[in-house]
Amino acid sequence: MGHGTPPRWVWVLLGASVLGVSSAGALFQHVNDVPPLLRASWRLQLTSLVLLPLFVHQWRGSNAATKEAYLRPRTWLLLGASGVALAAHFGAWVASLDQTTLTHSLLFVTAHPLVIVLGMGLLSPFVVSIRRPVRREWAGAFVCFVGAGLTLLDTGGEQGDQTATLLGDGLAFAGAIFVVGYIVVGRILRSWMPIFLYAFPVTALAAVLLLPASCLLEPQAAAFGWLGWVDGAYFIWFLLLALAAGLLGHTGLNTCLRYLSPLVVSVAVTLEPVLGSMIGWLLFDSGVPGRWTWVGGLVLVAGLLLVVVASENITSNQANNENNTP
């Protein structure tokens, strides 16, 4: 993170990046005539093409030590694991958008901070390198569970032309579980690996893995073709997904981390369900959430904020202690 007052443009970029990430759900739901796994693959295919020249540029500018580390088998095992996790995340999440309301899907797929706390609680007794969650993180997790329970009271309710279902909400939460693998591997590799050297192979692998999955599970996918996004009826929407949600959203957030604390960026991203629902309602007529979704959703987001703030404060304190150690 940079020192001093961040430039004004960083705040503009943060807002644009969060809006870009938040737009993905509504855009995916808008083209729901395409089977979900194929839809997810198309998005990742086009994003990979956008990332490729940036990958080449960073590779050429990397030093010999970075290139040597990049070509090690362990690095590619980790990149492969991250690609599998990203494919599973997108497959489950996009499928959820066909099975539940936009707001429910966004609420449950962004619950990965809760998944991380639960994972730490389960694994910390057995893995020395994993710390135990602190009380504030457990408190936030409890609030998340209360919020999720309240949100589920709207099961069967309609929002636009979608109905909230337990299956759809479960798929969205599965997407949150899978994305933790992508996040964990990213934290390991991004400590030394430039962003596009990480993002391109992982995104490309996820795109490729979703194609055979679509062939096996979605008989209707053959009618659209593996590269069906080139069709004029779909191209603009998947280009928006690649540029707005992919490049602007994720790359923009990584850029903001150079100038802003991870806490600020994490809190901003936690607002995705609210912003994504507004984008769907205003631009795509996705409808207004039901009463219990409003109540439970706000409680769930509050719980996620508690978890994020507690976790980032611990990380910041640990970093300060390490820097002050003689």
137-184 pLDDT tens trace: 999 999 999 999 999 999 999 998 999 999 999 999 999 999 999 999
Q: Please report whether residue 50 resides in a domain.
A: yes
pTM exceeds 0.85, yes or no: yes
Q: Please report whether residue 2 resides in a domain.
A: no
Neighbours of 323 (CB within 10 A): 7
Domain count, the chain: 1
Of 14, 22, 9, 1, nearest to 246 by C-alpha is: 22
Q: Please report whether residue 159 resides in a domain.
A: yes
Q: Please report whether residue 1 resides in a domain.
A: no
As a whole-number percent, the residues of the chain with pLDDT over 70 amount to: 96
Boundaries of domain holding 40? 8-324
The number of helix segments (H) and strand segments (E) in the chain equals 15, 2
What's the confidence (pLDDT) of residue 246? 86
Which letter does DSSP use for residue 225 in this model? -
**Helix or strand or coil: residue 264?**
helix
83-115 pLDDT tens trace: 999 999 999 999 999 999 999 999 999 999 999
Q: Please report whether residue 97 resides in a domain.
A: yes
Q: Judging by DSSP bridges, how do beta strands 162-163 and 158-159 pair with one another?
A: antiparallel
Mean pLDDT of the chain: 92
109-120 pLDDT tens trace: 999 999 999 999
Query: Tokens 């591997």 label which residue?
Result: 185
245-267 pLDDT tens trace: 888 988 888 888 888 887 888 88
Query: Tokens 């990430």 label which residue?
Result: 21
Q: Please report whether residue 3 resides in a domain.
A: no
What's the confidence (pLDDT) of residue 321? 61
Q: Please report whether residue 242 resides in a domain.
A: yes
Higher pLDDT, 324 or 303: 303
Q: Please report whether residue 312 resides in a domain.
A: yes
